[in-house]
Structure 1
Amino acid sequence: MKNPKNWLTVTFAAVFLAACGSGQKSSDGQDSTATVPPAENDGWVSLFDGETTNGWHTYLRDTVTAAWTAQNGELRFNPELPAEQRGDIVTDGEYENYELELEWQISSGGNSGIIFSVHEAPEFTATYQTGIEMQVLDNIDGADRHDETHLAGTLYDLIGSTEVSKPKPVGEWNLARIRKNNGQITLWLNDVQTADVTIGTPEWEALLNDSKFKDWEGFAKFPKGKIALQDHGNVVAYRNIRIKEL
C-alpha cells in the first residue's frame, strides 16, 4: 500500500524567486547569499537582532543557555557543551497566525528543526511534545534521511517527499518559510512548497493517525504558541529570522 503520508500531500509547485541581498562569507568561510532581507517593512518584524539572544530563552528556563550564541549575524548552536548548558530555545512571544522566514545552515550529518505552536508549560518537558516541526537536516548523511517525512523542509513525520526536499549542500544557507493561518500550515524550502494541510481536517487526522504523534496528548493542540529552534545534538546556525503576523 502506498504510504498515506505521501499520497495525501497536495500537488507541489516550485516557485522561483530572485535572491536578494549581497554575497557574504558564512562563519565557516564559505560564500553565501542572504535571501531574506533583514529590514523590517510591510509588517515584518525581526526576531533576531544579529548581535544578541534578546527575545529568546531556553525552553522552561529564564535565559538562553551558553550553547546558543549570537555571532556574525547568526544564532549558532554548539553541541559540545554539557547538557545543562544546552536545550531548545524559544521566542519570548507567542504567535497564532503568521508567516515566518529564516535561513538555516546545518553541519555534516546534522539534524535540527524549526518547531512552532509550542506551548511552554512544566507538564511538557520538550518543545516537540506540543509543537509542530519543520525539519532541518543534512539529507546526504543525516541519520534521519531514510524516512521521506523526515527530510529537510518536511512537516516532520507527517508530510514529506524526496521530490520537494531540496536542501542546499552542507555549509550553504537554506531559506525556510512557514505560513500558519487559521489552522492551515504551508511550508516552503528554498522557495519550493513542501507541505500544505489544515489542522482538524480529515486529511490532517489521517496523517496524524499514521504518525508517531497519534496518541500524544498535547501535540498540535495549541493554536497560539512560541517558535523554537531545536538542539538535536549537532552544530546548526540560523539567521535573518523574521515574522509577519496575519
Structure 2
Amino acid sequence: MAEKKADDKGATENESASEWISLFNGENLDGWEMYGEEPFTEHWSVVDGAIVCNNGIGEKNIGFFRSIMTDRDFGNFELELEYKIAKGGNSGIFYHVIEKEGWGHDYVSGPEYQILDDEFSRSEKEPFKMLASNYSMYPATGKKPNGYMQWNKVKIVYDKGHVEHWLNGEKVLEFEEGSEDWLAKKAAGKWAGSDSYAASTTGRISLQNHGDEVHYRNIRIKEL
C-alpha cells in the first residue's frame, strides 16, 4: 500500500469543506427572495456581514411581515448559522417551505426552529413554542443560550425524516417526522387538520419577520 502523503489530510479537509454551500455572501441578498412578493421590503438589509431584519428598532415590535427565503430547494440537509435577537424578540428558521398561491406565509408549509429570547419573551410561554423548539410540536431541553443581542449558533439536521435541533454545540431536540408520536402531536395541536404543514420533504429555507430585530450570519448548508 502506498504511503500516505503529507498533504492527504489537507486534501481530505478541503474536500469536506467543499461539501458546504454558503447561503449568504455577507454583502447582499443574492440567493434570497421574498416569500410571496417582490421586491425585498425595507425590513430586510445587510449590515456588518449579517442579514438583518428590522435593523435598529431595538425592543420595539412593528408587527408581522413576510419572510425571506432561499431561491433554491433543499431536501435532506445539515444547516448551520448564527443569530442574535433583540430583547424579548421572536423569529424563526423554516425548512421545506413551499410557496403556493393562497398559503400566505412560510409557516403554513414549513416546520420551524423557533428563534426567541426566552428570558424576556413577550409572545411565547409554552415550552414547545420557546427557543430551539420544533414550533408547536416538540420542546427543546438542556438549552444554554446566550442572552439577547449576543450571537448563538444553530444547527438543524433533516435526514429522511430524522430531525435534530442544536444550539451552541449541544443537541437540544431530536424527533422523527411522520412517526406515530409526530402524527399524534400534529393532530392534537396547532397543525390539526392542516394538509400543508410538513407536506413536502423538499423546499426552501426561510427566515421569519415576526416584527422584531434579528441578525443572521455565517449561513451555510450541506446536502445529505
Q: TM-score, normalised by structure 1?
A: 0.78
Equivalent pairs: percent with the same residue?
Answer: 33
Match of 1:5 in 2: none
2:185 partner SS: helix
Match of 1:118 in 2: 97
Distance in 1, Cα, partners of 2:201 & 2:187: 19
Match of 1:21 in 2: none
Match of 1:107 in 2: 86
Match of 2:20 in 1: 44
Distance in 1, Cα, partners of 2:198 & 2:32: 21
Match of 1:181 in 2: 159
Distance in 1, Cα, partners of 2:130 & 2:21: 28
TM-fit CA distance, 1:145: 4.0
Match of 1:128 in 2: 107
Distance in 2, Cα, partners of 1:191 & 1:50: 23
CA change 1:201–1:107 in 2 (3 A) is same
TM-fit CA distance, 1:198: 1.6
TM-fit CA distance, 1:217: 1.9
Over the aligned positions, Cα root-mean-square deviation in angstroms equals 2.0
Does the 8 A contact of 1:151 with 1:165 survive in 2? no
Q: What amino acid maps onto 2:41 in structure 1?
A: T
Match of 2:46 in 1: 70
Please state if 1:216 is matched with 2:181.
no
Match of 1:88 in 2: 67
Q: What amino acid maps onto 2:191 in structure 1?
A: F
TM-fit CA distance, 1:62: 3.6
Does the 8 A contact of 2:63 with 2:210 survive in 1? no
Which among 131, 137, 143 is matched to residue 122 of structure 2?
A: 143
Distance in 1, Cα, partners of 2:193 & 2:75: 23
TM-fit CA distance, 1:82: 8.4
Q: Which runs of 4+ in 1 moved over 4 A?
A: 79-84
Q: What amino acid maps onto 1:115 in structure 2?
A: F
Aligned residues: 205
Match of 1:98 in 2: 77
Q: TM-score, normalised by structure 2?
A: 0.86
Does the 8 A contact of 1:115 with 1:132 survive in 2? yes
Cα distance per residue 1:13-58 (max 9 Å; x no partner): xxxxxxxxxxxxxxxxxxxxxxxxxxx9240010000000000011
Q: What amino acid maps onto 2:49 in structure 1?
A: G
1:207 partner SS: helix
Larger Rg: 2
TM-fit CA distance, 1:102: 0.4
Does the 8 A contact of 2:62 with 2:212 survive in 1? no
CA change 1:145–1:201 in 2 (3 A) is same
Cα distance per residue 1:89-111 (max 9 Å; x no partner): 01000000110000110101100
Distance in 1, Cα, partners of 2:189 & 2:173: 15
